[in-house]
Structures are given as C-alpha cells and as structure tokens.
C-alpha cells in the first residue's frame, strides 16, 4: 500500500469517525436547524442578502466544526506520536483537516440550498463564483483553527476557552445593553466579523471584489495549515521553515486587507462591465419607458414600472421626442431616471 492510498484511507476513517461522534451527531444538526430557522429571508431576496446570510451561517458552521474537530485532533497529538505509523504526525493532522473541511463544506452548502428553497421568489442579482467559493472557504477557518490550536497547545484549553466565550457572548448580547460590557461585546463581534469579512465593500456580483475575498480566504487557510506544521513534539523547537512561511503569510494577509480597504472604499464606483458575466445592461421598454436593470433583476421591471409610471408622467419632456430611461448602478445607490432620445443619446 502506497503512502497516498494510506493517506486517503486515513482521511475516510477520520471522516467516518467525526460523523459517528456524539459531538457531531448532536451538535451539528442542532446548529444547522438553528441557523436555518433564524435565517432572514426578505420578500424580494437579492444576491447581496444571500451573501450576507451565507457569510453569517458560515461563521456558525465554523464555530461548531471547531468543537467537532478538536477531539480527533487531540487524539492525534496525544496518542499517535509514540506509535509506529506509516504516516508522520503532521501528515495525519493534514488528513484530519481534509476530512473536517469536507464535512464543513457540506454543512455550508446545505444552508445555502435551504435559503434558496425557502426564498419566496428567485434570488435577484448575480453572484460571482469567486464570492461563493470564498463563503465556503470562510467556513473552513473553524476546523483548521481547531487543528492548529490543538497542535500547538496539546490540550483542551482552546476548546474550553471557546466554550466559555460563546455563551458569555450570547448572554451579554441580550443583557449588557448600555453598559461597559456592551462595548466589550461589540468589540468581540467586530473582531470576529472582521476575520470573516475584512473589507469595506461587500458586493457579491463584482468579480474583482469576489477575487479579493477569495485571495484573502486562501491566504488565511494556508497560514493556518502552515501553523499546524510548525509545532514539533513536546519540548522541541518549532520548525523554522513553516514558522517563517507562517510569518510571511501573516504579513501578506495584512497587506491584502490594507490594499483592499484603501482601493475599494464606499466612494468607489463599479461599472456594469465589472459584474460577473456582464458586458452591458440589457434594456426593456414598458409604455415608452426604457428600464435597464442589472443582470438578474429583469423580473423586477414590471414592479418598477407599476411604481414609477405615475410619477414620471408628470416629468417635462420638452417636445416629446424622448422617453425616460430608468436603471440601477452596480454599486448600491438611489435609482436614476434620465431622458434619452430615440437614438440612445442623452439630451
């Protein structure tokens, strides 16, 4: 049997071991039910609503998978080092991490599918595949952080601390309004949210933003894996190459966040061409009014026309040789209405 086949066999064992563990069997279904039941779905859901809710659900999945992955990780670091095994201790941890992120992806995908099935109408707008991939990768932070923390601490201290912080956070969220603890809770929430969504602008349809989020998620995942490989056995010095790579990755991550927040601010105006799979906005005419929705919003034209046709009839149109043109910009802003000549040029 080759080392590769042994690795995949161990990964399948870890996958089955986590599926059959009481922590997963009880904690994960309850977490998924809670996240699915409390997901906010508006009457007219958009891709931005789906992105925000999926990111919040990814944080919840990451939290419960942190708990699930801690126990098998502790088994590896405590009991596997002294055994004569065909795979090294770090390779076994990587196998465990692979099995954990596979389960995490399934949980995150099920919540996204549940959101789409519960939506009263199809979700409007477009979402870049980079953005969707980034949502899945952000849920990996939990199990990978559990493996890395266990490899370093070699105890249940991270799990105990995490188990104390989560109930305290929920308790103070409801009881600490207007007090000093309220400030602490807000800062904790900001730190966690910033780790998942570190940039100012969250437009899931813009390709460059989706790519930026994806690069950040990949860098953070590689940094967590590198940190897992740094620690050797108890009492031995850390590995210099993974340690240097981890420090370098942390610098690159910080630089990526600074670049993203300086380049793409709230004042940055994205054009329609920057949306995923879009060259130009398609226009539709209703009673002489040209509506130019963003991709994915075509079904909203009839609602717009019903709401806007009474007001625009009172707009002065000069000689009557033009018609009003209504559209939306790629960045969230108020809709604009301008008069356009039949040739397509604005007067």
Domain boundaries, the chain: 3-273, 283-340
88: nearest Cα among 229, 246, 261? 229
70: nearest Cα among 165, 168, 155, 11? 155
Task: Calculate mean pLDDT across residues 8-27.
Answer: 90
DSSP class of 323: E
- 287 phi and psi, to 5 degrees? 55, 45
pLDDT at res. 200: 81
DSSP class of 239: P
Pairwise pLDDT comparison (53 vs 178), residue with the higher score: 53
224: nearest Cα among 118, 339, 325, 100? 100
Lowest mean pLDDT among 43-52, 61-70, 73-82, 136-145: 73-82
pLDDT tens for 197-229 read 788 888 888 888 999 999 999 999 999 999 988
57: nearest Cα among 98, 115, 130, 123? 115
36: nearest Cα among 127, 113, 123, 138? 113
DSSP H helical segments within the chain, as ranges? 3-19, 22-38, 47-79, 89-118, 129-139, 141-153, 157-175, 180-196, 207-230, 240-263, 301-312
Mind giving me the DSSP string for 115-159? HHHH-SSPPBS---HHHHHHHHHHHTHHHHHHHHHHHHH-SSHHH
Beta-ladder partners of 292:
327
pLDDT at res. 118: 92
CA–CA dist 180, 176 (Å, integer):
8
Pairwise pLDDT comparison (295 vs 98), residue with the higher score: 98
CA–CA dist 148, 106 (Å, integer):
22
Is 40 exposed, middle or buried (CB count within 10 Å of its CB: 0-12, 13-18, 19+)? exposed
pLDDT at res. 49: 92
Task: Calculate mean pLDDT across residues 7-27.
Answer: 90
Mean pLDDT of the chain: 80
pLDDT at 30 over 90: yes
Tokens of 206: 């813009």
Band of pLDDT at residue 340, cut at 50, 70 and 90: very low
126: nearest Cα among 336, 292, 294? 294
Between strands 289-292 and 284-286, the pairing is antiparallel
pLDDT tens for 223-270 read 999 998 887 665 567 788 888 898 999 999 999 999 988 888 887 777
204: nearest Cα among 15, 6, 48? 48
pLDDT at res. 236: 65
CA–CA dist 16, 172 (Å, integer):
37
Pairwise pLDDT comparison (343 vs 160), residue with the higher score: 160
96: nearest Cα among 21, 7, 223? 7
pLDDT at res. 157: 83
pLDDT at res. 280: 60
Lowest mean pLDDT among 58-72, 107-121, 203-217, 318-332: 318-332
pLDDT at res. 269: 77
CA–CA dist 323, 313 (Å, integer):
10
Percent of the chain with pLDDT over 70: 78
CA–CA dist 254, 155 (Å, integer):
29
pTM over 0.85: no
- Is the separation of the CB atoms in 222 and 266 below 8 Å? no
């Amino acid at each position: 049997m080759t080392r590769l086949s042994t690795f995949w066999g161990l990964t399948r064992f870890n996958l089955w071991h986590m599926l059959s563990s009481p922590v997963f069997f009880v904690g994960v279904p309850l977490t998924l039910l809670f996240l699915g039941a409390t997901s906010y779905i508006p009457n007219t859901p958009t891709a931005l609503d789906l992105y925000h809710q999926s990111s919040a659900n990814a944080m919840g999945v990451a939290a419960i998978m942190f708990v699930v992955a801690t126990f098998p990780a502790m088994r590896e670091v405590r009991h596997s080092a002294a055994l004569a095994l065909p795979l090294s201790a770090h390779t076994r941890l990587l196998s465990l991490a692979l099995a954990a992120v596979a389960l995490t992806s399934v949980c995150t995908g099920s919540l996204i599918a549940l959101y789409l099935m519960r939506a009263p109408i199809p979700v409007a707008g477009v979402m870049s595949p980079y953005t969707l991939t980034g949502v899945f990768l952000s849920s990996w932070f939990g199990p990978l952080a559990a493996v890395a923390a266990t490899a370093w601490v070699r105890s249940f201290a991270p799990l105990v601390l995490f188990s104390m912080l989560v109930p305290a956070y929920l308790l103070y969220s409801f009881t600490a309004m207007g007090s000093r603890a309220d400030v602490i809770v807000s800062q904790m929430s900001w730190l966690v949210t910033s780790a998942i969504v570190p940039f100012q602008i969250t437009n899931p349809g813009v390709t460059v933003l989706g790519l930026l989020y994806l690069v950040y998620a990949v860098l953070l995942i590689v940094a967590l894996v590198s940190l897992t490989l740094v620690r050797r056995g108890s009492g031995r010095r850390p590995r210099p190459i993974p340690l240097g790579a981890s420090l370098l990755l942390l610098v690159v991550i910080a630089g990526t966040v600074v670049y993203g927040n300086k380049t793409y601010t709230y004042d940055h105006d994205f054009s329609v061409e920057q949306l995923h799979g879009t060259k130009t906005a398609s226009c539709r005419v209703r009673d002489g009014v040209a509506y130019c929705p963003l991709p994915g919003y075509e079904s909203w034209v009839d609602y717009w026309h019903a709401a806007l046709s009474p007001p625009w009839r009172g707009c002065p149109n000069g000689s009557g040789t033009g018609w009003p043109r209504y559209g939306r910009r790629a960045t969230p802003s108020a809709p604009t209405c301008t008069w356009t000549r039949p040739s397509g040029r604005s007067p």
